[in-house]
């Protein structure tokens, strides 16, 4: 776990020099358009090579999200969905306490805790970490209210694949 955290921490220190730099002068093509829009394009820009560590870290963060989704999906499959299928495992109030009191707050607070623990400063990686958690919270409400598609409730694996794979995000 420490190596995973140190790998994610390296995202914060991903300041590397571009391969080449070029200057854009004050007078360029389309200056009239940019002057009206308030966009200033003069300055120094650089072209960088692909940074593979960034893509590795994004993939690692997404895998952490999917593992968290698998844990939540198993809890929902065994404790919340039987209530909707009339196989009473828990009472309605216990289901709502589990969903609204435990799972949904974890979905919203876990990304902040991971970002704080790892020191991630890259906006793309933060989004990669946070976006699936919002989908998990919505899918938790979907399970509590009984709107889960019947085809995914046939087995725990089907429900885990449906729940933990944030296809809307990808």
pLDDT in tens, 65-118: 899 999 999 999 998 887 665 566 567 788 889 999 999 999 999 999 988 888
Q: Please give the pLDDT value at position 21.
A: 86
Phi, psi (rounded to 5 degrees) for 47: -110, 125
Q: Which of 87-96, 116-125, 161-170 has the highest mean pLDDT?
A: 116-125
- Stated as kind and residue range, the H or E segment containing 59 is helix 52-75
Please, which residues have CB within 8 angstroms of residue 154's CB and are 6 or more apart in sequence?
none
The answer to whether 114 touches 129, Cβ cutoff 8 Å, is yes
- Summarised one tens digit per residue, pLDDT across range 130-158 is 999 999 999 999 999 889 988 998 899 99
């Amino acid at each position: 776990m420490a190596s995973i955290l140190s790998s994610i921490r390296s995202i914060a220190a991903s300041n590397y020099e571009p391969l080449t730099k070029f200057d854009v002068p004050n007078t360029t093509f389309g200056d009239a358009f940019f002057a009206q829009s308030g966009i200033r394009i003069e300055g120094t820009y650089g072209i960088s090579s692909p940074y593979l560590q960034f893509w590795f870290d994004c993939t690692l963060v997404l895998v952490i999200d999917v593992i968290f989704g698998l844990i939540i999906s198993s809890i929902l499959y065994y404790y919340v969905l039987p209530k909707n299928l009339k196989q009473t495992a828990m009472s309605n109030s216990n289901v709502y306490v589990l969903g609204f009191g435990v799972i949904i707050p974890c979905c919203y607070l876990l990304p902040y805790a991971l970002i704080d623990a790892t020191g991630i400063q890259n906006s793309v990686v933060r989004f990669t970490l946070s976006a699936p958690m919002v989908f998990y919270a919505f899918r938790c409400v979907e399970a509590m209210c009984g709107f889960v598609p019947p085809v995914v409730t046939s087995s725990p694996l089907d429900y885990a694949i449906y729940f933990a794979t944030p296809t809307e995000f990808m």
